Amino acid sequence: MENCKKSMLIEPNDNVAVAVEPIEAGDYTMVAGEKLTANQFIKEGHKIARVDIAKGGEILKYGVHIGVASKDIKKGDWVYEENVYDDFEEINRDQRAYYRSMAPDALDYTDTRIYTKEELNLPETIMGYKRADSSFGIRNQVLVISLVQCSNNAVQRISTACNVPATFVDAACGEFPDRFARTLKGFITAGTHPNTFGVVLLSLGCQQTNPEEVAEAIRKTGRPVVNISIQADGGVTKAIADGIQAVNEMKAQAAAQKREPCPTSGLVISGYNGGSDWTSGLSANPAVGEAIDMHLAIGGKAVQICGRGGYPTNAGSYEIGMRLMEIGDFFNEDCARRGGKGLSQVNPTPGNKAGGLTTMTEKNLGSFKTQGHGRILGILDCGDPVPGPGNWGINQAQGANDAYASTSLAMSGCHICLFTTGRGNPIGNACMTTIKITGNPNTAAILEDMIDYSAKPMLYGEKTLQESGRELYDLILRVANGEETKAEKLGDYSWTTPHGTSYNGDY
């Protein structure tokens, strides 16, 4: 006996719908008032054809082309990697050529933000920790930094004994100048992050890094720094004991500092999507974009990773749009040099595909929704501070896996990362507070220990995008005022400084 199952049609002109629950062969779903019977089993989150699609025909989702039928597809068929060709490289090339052919004033670069400060009625202040360099933090952490791979174990033991975050490094000795410059920037931006109260630096003694150079850069911001060398200070055992003592003394100083009113608009918030699945682009990512729209409306700051570039339609000016495409060109060409075809050869990942994301364009369209409607006002290099209110991008042309991306965001001083994950990811950050969001009901239930907010009600039409965005922003405010996140409870304090590339000589 056939049963009616739930599905979602994203845009009226899409020729596929998304199964919100598994659909057995012979069962049907209602799409735009039309009964659509499944020809075979359709996995939850996967696509079902609304019409016959001939071999070579477009697959349309989100109202745009996401791939090509690699064989004839019948109405009611499962649409997935076995019958879809990912033409991301070809489409990407053609789109870039199209935008480059346009006159600089052919597009409207006006912000499309939909909120005003007055209608949101958000609190003007949160309670934070003021710094001597005029910044403020929402955490008052003592951080232990390993300045060379050889001191990682000692730093881990200090961190564990004192229950404080630490950062580690996979080299910091024998590195070539461009990579070492990035490593050094990672040390300094961790030590001067708004959420960092003070720092204990631990080195071996013969490493490439000059500990005093790092210490001096951090001290200039008014933060206390203790420098410990394993070789100069009497060995590993003594270094660990001295480190524990220094951390505990700093923790006492940090505990004595009281929270004070700080401007809500001064919060630097980022949106990032890791472990995507079918729910990400339909619920969690749009909810993050909505919360970021709200933050921008009150004069706030937001940062996005631009590892794969973008298009002028995301930019605040023609020049920024061209820069986004240059970043994308470099990234795509680098992928082709390394692997032949390009990015679509390795992305979406097997996990993404199992979750219903068949092509790179499909994945990107969902990921971009974390940005909200604010145009990108400028492109920062890794470690550059955010210059002012608005939406900013970070050039991470070497790619954006979760560990690199979250560290890049933290290196620009982000207080909070709104990290969406359909499949689930426990990653946190040593400096930046991470809020985990999912739209996947199974992830929210089974991986409850690492999810802070579920956008499931939005997925099933039980809450509007606006309601979910406001709920998420209220959570941001609570976290900014001290509420602990799941990543903090788990003690997940990752820090992976991105390696450099040769792009424009900047990396």
User: What CATH number labels 130-258?
Assistant: 3.40.50
3-state secondary structure of 59: strand
d(CA 472, CA 250) in angstroms, rounded, equals 33
- Mind listing the pLDDT tens digit for each residue in 180-235? 888 999 999 999 999 999 999 999 999 999 999 999 999 999 999 999 999 999 99
Taking the CA atoms of residue 349, residue 351, residue 354 and residue 360 in that order, the dihedral angle to the nearest 10 degrees is -30
The β-bridge partners of 137 are 129
Assess whether the previous peptide bond of 12 is cis (omega < 30° from 0). no
Domain layout of the chain by residue ranges: 4-85, 130-258, 267-505
CATH 3.50.50.60 is right for the domain spanning 4-85: no
- Token pair listed for 502: 């040769």
- Mind listing the pLDDT tens digit for each residue in 373-417? 999 999 999 999 999 999 999 998 765 588 889 999 999 999 999
Identify the burial level of 1 via C-beta atoms within 10 angstroms of its C-beta, where 0-12 means exposed, 13-18 middle and 19 or more buried: exposed
d(CA 447, CA 342) in angstroms, rounded, equals 33
Q: Which of 350, 363, 453, 456 is nearest to 20 (CA)?
A: 456
Integer Rg of the chain from CA = 24
Q: pTM value?
A: 0.91
3-state secondary structure of 187: helix
Residues 6+ apart with CB under 8 A from 488: 428, 433
pLDDT by 10s per residue, the chain, length 507:
578 999 999 999 999 999 999 999 999 999 999 999 999 999 999 999 999 999 999 999 999 899 999 999 999 999 999 999 998 888 888 888 888 888 888 888 887 777 999 999 999 999 999 999 999 999 999 999 999 999 999 999 999 999 999 999 988 888 888 888 889 999 999 999 999 999 999 999 999 999 999 999 999 999 999 999 999 999 999 999 999 999 999 999 999 999 999 999 999 999 999 888 889 999 999 999 999 999 999 999 999 998 777 778 889 999 999 998 888 888 777 777 766 666 777 678 888 888 888 998 888 888 889 999 999 999 999 999 999 999 999 998 765 588 889 999 999 999 999 999 998 999 999 999 999 999 999 999 999 999 999 999 998 889 999 999 999 999 999 999 999 999 999 999 999 998 765 444 343
d(CA 238, CA 20) in angstroms, rounded, equals 58
Q: Residue for token digits 């995301």?
A: 314
